[in-house]
Structure 1
Amino acid sequence: MRFYIFIFAFLFSLATIMIQRGVFFYTKYELLLSDFQNLLLALATGVTYIAGAQLSHRYWEAVGPRRAMVSLIIIQLILPLTAFVFPTAPVITAMVILYSIFNGMTWPIAESYSSAGLDEKGSSRAIGIYNLCWSTAVPLAVLLAGAAISAFKNGIFMIAGVIVVVSMGLVFFLPKVIPHHMASSADGTDDGKAISVEDMRGMLLSSRWSMGFSYALMQILASLIPGKFADMGISVAKATLLASFIDFARTFSFLIMSATVWWHGRKVFLACASTVLALGFAMAMFPDRIALIITGEIIYGIAAGFAYYSALYYAMVLSKASVGAGGSHESVIGAGFTIGPILVLTGKQCAVIFGFSVSTGMLFGFGPMALLAIPLSVFYLIPKRIETPAGRL
């Protein structure tokens, strides 16, 4: 079962990123949309992604996991092919917004398939392979999107559709029922010390705050980096190459985490994650020097990979690999997709009203996110006082 879901994760991620990330390069370089319009599109896709993730569990329970995946993937085949036939701004905008709904419904089921039926260590290994599969596809998809737009224009949507067809074929090899039981394991860390449920919940909440923050920043980067590179006179093919350093760095982070369990229960890394994310984002977004942008992308990508892997691991272990946990995980991603563009759009409007620069407007949006995410990601790692018959401890 897991072999097929791992291959599916690679191929379907390839198609997903070509649409969800590649579309911003297409709208900037081919449709000539403004950064403001790209941010609005990013906001809309974030809202619909949350809706899809929340609907995933109900839909899966109604029709079964395999049937749910097949039906959702069929829709995600029709949508990009429609954009290929009618490559206008309204059609492509509607396509991406709708695509995000059904894409948000699909991934929680795939995540549940990837780690169901395993103990904590087995789950960590399975999630590691799963993360490597989908994340390896991301930089390749960004590069492929740039090449496709440069050579075939709207052919990017046809290529994505073909990949979706191949992905759908793999789903028929999955079992109709997902095994949810996980054998217990006391080996929560590499030194044999078990992680308490209370600590694990705290680490889940901390990692989710960092992960949500990372996706808020990712959506900003995804929608604005194409315009940044276009203004620098960089071609679409080279722009996607430069943008892919984020994803190569994230994959490297997944590779390290999947190879060991040293990070299990290590709160210090989670405490630093949001701060490192903020540093990497600032270096990637604000300077105009390519070397600094790439350095920021790498720093951001490594921290984003750590936050994502930790959040998914703790969620799957605590929930025994339920689709509901996968839906909650994807909802956090969708929330980040939504909040990031909202705050940046608001910050830029405030800058216009008060006569500040565009960069200052970006800070107005970025600053509040950092000031909220950094302390909260630390707060949930602090041991809580508990009630005992003798009083408080």
Structure 2
Amino acid sequence: YFFTQAKFGFASQKNLVLAATIGFVYIFASVFGGRFGQRQGYFSALRVGLSIMAVALLVGLFVENVVAHVIVLLVYTSGTCFTWPALEALVSENESPLRLQQRVGVYNLVWAGTGALAYFSGGAMIERFGLKVLFSVPLAVHVVELSLIQWLEPKTNSRASPVEPPRVAPAVLAEIPLNPRPIARVKTFLRMAWLSNPLAYIAINTVIPTIPALAKQLELSPKFAGFFCSAWLFARTVAFLLLWLWPGWHYRFRWLAGAYLAMLACFTLMLAASDLRLLVTAQIFFGAAIGLIYYSSLYYSMDVGGAKGEHGGIHEAAIGVGNFIGPALGAAALHFFPEQRNSGTWTVCGLLLLGFFALVAVRSRSRVRV
């Protein structure tokens, strides 16, 4: 979004429209990508996704007009929808509850940590090497990843098979007593996580497209905007580490509800902040809350049973719903109430509050049934 602001003069409203468009594509592409990996194999899905992403970035290096760049971005987004469900399935396929907790924890640390470092350093790299670095560096990374697949596939072929029967002994299931039964309760937490995660991404993808405008308001250069506005990403990574090491949050409603309320409060503070210290502090708690909500969605998706690829696709599609609704609401509010600078913030806050009531309703209804 710093790229579209710098190259095409996009203000918050146009960046929000772009984010909503990306989210809309992500919804359907994720479901397709998850099913593709489930049926054709996870490594096949990775090859397709990384190839699409690499080609899109290569084209992006040479195009100049806004329409071409939007198309490149949408094609790139479609490619990512083949990779995320496949990676999530590879991490969790045929694992016991104990191993699942460990593997999902490492997976979350890797992607969140690298994402935080990329955002932290992105502004400085733009200032040093120019806007084209946003295409050339990821392109090089994807080429390396495609090469790694050729080396990794033979070593993990048995784990990659979507149809291999489970190899977990019944005794292993007792290793984590926090994994509840009956299955009805497990599915209730899965529904709550699938509800709260897209709502969390509504908040995330309302914040991210408006960060360039917020940085301008606080008189931050792209370099320092990357430094200060990546605080929530590092906080999310630390949260992933703690949640990995301590499984006591599993299937505990108060943790999910508390994280959701913290996310809502910090979202409001971040977009209304006029002080850099308040912005960074709110980001830290926002990132921690987002970390628990995301971890819940992914962990419960993988813990509930078979069809890991399709469950990963649904998990990612739920993220796409949030990626679409949040920016779309924010852009619509700015369009219809342009004189109210914070109209988008309050509109999304209202939706997030309704989402909390829906979360409580799902919990209450399940308790009545059980």
TM-score (norm 1): 0.86
Retained in 2: the 8 A contact 1:246–1:298? yes
After TM superposition, list the pairs within 5 Å mapping 1:1-393 onto structure 2.
Answer: 24-61=1-38, 63-153=40-130, 154-172=132-150, 173-174=152-153, 175=157, 177-178=161-162, 179=164, 181=166, 183=168, 184=170, 185-187=172-174, 194-320=180-306, 322-352=308-338, 356-363=339-346, 365-382=347-364, 383-386=366-369
User: Quick one: distance in 2 between partners of 1:344 and 1:257?
Assistant: 31
d(CA) in 2 for partners of 1:89, 1:61: 35
Shift in CA distance, 278/62, structure 1 to aligned 2, threshold 3 Å = same
Counterpart-to-counterpart distance in 1, 2:351 and 2:312? 24
In the aligned structure 1, how far is the partner of 2:231 from the partner of 2:301? 27
| Greater Cα offset, 27-36 or 209-218 | 27-36
User: Aligned partners of 2:345, 2:34: CA distance in 1, in Å?
Assistant: 36
Does 130-139 or 150-159 show the bigger shift?
150-159
Superposed structure 1 runs of 4+ greater than 6 Å apart:
none
Which structure 1 segments of 5+ residues have no match?
1-23, 387-392
Q: Distance in 1 between matches of 2:355 and 2:176?
A: 26
Coordinate RMSD, CA, aligned:
1.9
Structure-2 residue corresponding to 1:5:
none
Q: Deviations over 1:89-131 (max 9, x none)?
A: 2222211112111212221011000011111121111101111
1:23-69 C-alpha deviation (Å, 9 max, x unpaired): x1111233321211111110110011112101113322553321221
Find the aligned partners of 1:361 and 1:63 in 2 and give their Cα distance: 42
Alignment partners' CA distance in 2, 1:361 and 1:136 = 29
> Cα distance 1:231–1:182, how it changes in 2: closer, same or farther (>3 A)?
farther
1:233 partner SS: coil
CA distance in 2, matches of 1:188, 1:98: 43
Report which structure shows greater RCO (CA 8 Å, sep ≥6): 2
Cα distance in structure 1, aligned partners of 2:165 and 2:343: 49
Taking the aligned partners of 1:261 and 1:343, their CA distance within structure 2 comes to: 35
Shift of 1:144: 2.8
* AA at the equivalent of 1:109: A
After superposition, give the CA deviation of every residue in 1:136-164 in whole Å (9 maximum; x if it has no partner).
11111112321221122212211110011
Q: Is the 8 A contact 1:84 1:157 kept in 2?
A: yes
Percent sequence identity is 24
Structure 1 residue 188: Cα displacement? 7.7
Q: Give the drift of 1:226.
A: 1.3
Give structure 2 stretches of 5+ with no counterpart: none
Name the CA distance, whole Å, in 2 between partners of 1:155 and 1:225: 20
Find the aligned partners of 1:193 and 1:39 in 2 and give their Cα distance. 39
- Quick one: distance in 1 between partners of 2:79 and 2:8? 25
Distance (whole Å) between structure 2 residues aligned to residue 186 and residue 124 of structure 1: 12
Q: Is the 8 A contact 2:48 2:79 kept in 1?
A: no
The DSSP-based 3-state class of the residue aligned with 1:118 is coil
Query: Match for 2:107: what amino acid?
Result: Y
Checking the alignment, whether the CA contact within 8 Å between 1:211 and 1:333 is kept in structure 2 is: yes
Count of aligned pairs between the two proteins: 359
SS at match of 1:358: coil
Q: Which amino acid aligns with 2:234?
A: F
Match of 1:234, SS state, is: coil
For the residue of structure 2 that corresponds to 1:219, the secondary structure is helix
- Secondary structure of the residue aligned to 1:39 is helix
Instruction: Give the superposition deviation at 1:303.
Output: 0.5
Alignment-mate amino acid for residue 247 of structure 1: L
Q: 1:200 to 1:182 in 2, by over 3 A?
A: farther
Please give the alpha-carbon distance, in whole angstroms, between the structure 2 residues aligned to 1:335 and 1:294. 27
Alpha carbons 1:189, 1:265 under 8 Å: kept: no
- Is residue 238–residue 288 contact of structure 2 (8 Å, CA) maintained in 1? yes
Whether the 8 Å CA contact 1:115–1:321 is kept in 2: the answer is: no
8 Å contact from structure 1 (residues 83, 157) kept in 2: yes
Question: Which structure features the higher share of helix residues?
Answer: 2
> Contact 1:29 / 1:230 at 8 angstroms: preserved in 2?
no
Amino acid at match of 2:190: L
